[in-house]
Amino acid sequence: MNNKYYFLPAVFVAYVFSIVYSTNINAQPQGHEHTLSESVGKPESEGAKIVSDFKFKPLNFVPPKVDRVVLENGMILYLLEDHDLPIFNITARIRTGEIYEPAEKAGLASLTGYVMRSGGTLSMPADKMNEELEFMAASVETSIDRESGGASLSTLKKDIDKGLKIFADVLMNPAFPEDKISMRKDEVVEAIRRENDNPSNIAHREFRKIIYDSKHPYSRKIEGTLESIEKITRDDIVAFHKKYFHPNNVILGISGDFNKEEIIKKLNTVFAGWGKEDIKFPEVAKVENCFEKSVNYVYKDINQASVLMGHLGINRKSPDYFPVTIMNFVLGGGSFTARIPGRIRSDEGLAYSAYSAFQTSRDIGMFFVSCQTKLESTHRAISIALEELDKIRKMSIDKEELAQAKETFMNQFVFRFTTSASIVAQKVDIEYEELPLNYLETYLSNVQAVTREDVQRVAKKYLHPDEIKILVVGNKEKFDKQLDSFGKVNVIELK
């Protein structure tokens, strides 16, 4: 199979840039008799009108085909050969995460994911593993975050056998030595103790507590707390790994310089004896739809205020995902061209960074607006953001705003396929998130299908400025106006 175009060379990237990111002076506009050269010397307004009338053929890009294979042990593989360079990569997703750990031992999942790699395996101590990988110029990494576990292997083609053996050993047989567990605990504890030094860390930690019920795992920090870290034992870590790490709970994305049939045989060999298991996942409480306005304040003697404001949003499988994505691009996700950063940053110069985002999860994620502004403009920046939330709900966006948003997402889509590794990683994520397997093939049509009416509909449905939760970290004595004009202020004391 010829894969030369999967690993896009610089020449091809430059070519794509010329057709999707700018008005290509060599392109022939359809349905208009003028060319760019003919508008030179014309009045600016007339030239601009001519350019705006140009019409180009729609972007028609078909993602490369990736093979999907399921092994007898239940492991799902996505394979894409790419023989341009003698490199071999694996990216893995494992269904596990912080959401499945006991609340009183918050941080267990993250600790397990870290020491899986740092602690070596039963057959290869960590120091020996580090030496082997360094000699091969290879890497093996593992981690567990809020809703998934991850692992990766990167090595040269000539070292595939050695790399696979170490990679499989780490997944199946981590040693979890006490000294490495204690070392990592100390590192996490020190990081937690320093959290309050950073206003942004304070804001994001406390904002989760405000958005989600305290009993839900989404309200917790992945790293845990000083109290919960102390309670975690080696037995807890071993049991957590044993419960979730089985081949039928693993998706591998494999890319690079290999032969499909040969690599499948190698995988069956290195994972021999690792059998299927029925995994009983703990029940995770559903996120409660709570839209109750609150204003929250954390005192910190700093020169700038850190502001977060928002509420619950959507989950990753929402049928409104694409309209919401386009709507948020216009509102605050589209860099300097979006409305919130356009007004707060560009027009009034109140903040260097201001944006909005929908953070999607398996359950309901959050919508938030974030900005850092000087203390004397805190109230003004919040007011502008609220005005823009209200405006996009009540008034349809401009045709130009919709067109720019669509074009941006469609043009950027091409650059999600610049390497074979990035392609299979997307396929792994799609499978893991239980999205339609043809998600990439239908992506462009889903973006193109969004209308101005869709944008206003989802703005009304998912934006609630009258029921928003506001959090400000800073020194209220220097604010331009006091926060109680937005509602009763709840003061959060830092420990």
Mean pLDDT within 377-396? 97
pLDDT band, very low/low/confident/very high, at 30 (cuts 50, 70, 90): very low
Mean pLDDT within 441-457? 96
The confidence score (pLDDT) of residue 290 equals 77
Q: Let me know: does 146 contact 221? Beta carbons within 8 Å.
A: no
The confidence score (pLDDT) of residue 463 equals 97
Burial 360-392 (b: 16+ CB within 10 A, else e): bbbbbbbbbbbbbbbbebbbbbbebbbebbeeb
- In this prediction the pTM is 0.85
Q: Which of 60-64, 181-185, 436-440, 482-486 is predicted least confidently? A: 60-64
Task: State pLDDT tens for residues 134-177.
Answer: 999 999 999 999 999 999 999 999 999 999 999 999 999 999 99
β-bridge partners, 471: 296, 308
Full set of structural domains in the chain with CATH = 10-53 (no CATH), 67-270 (3.30.830.10), 294-491 (3.30.830.10)
Mean pLDDT within 447-460? 97
Is 46's pLDDT higher than 90? no
Torsion of CA 438, 444, 448, 453, to 10 degrees: 50
Q: How far apart are CA 323 and CA 448, in angstroms?
A: 10
What whole-number percentage of the chain has pLDDT above 90?
83
Q: Which of 334, 369, 367 is nearest to 354 (CA)?
A: 369
Cite the beta strand spans of 319-395 per DSSP E. Answer: 351-359, 366-374
Q: How far apart are CA 493 and CA 491, in angstroms?
A: 6
The confidence score (pLDDT) of residue 311 equals 97
The confidence score (pLDDT) of residue 59 equals 60
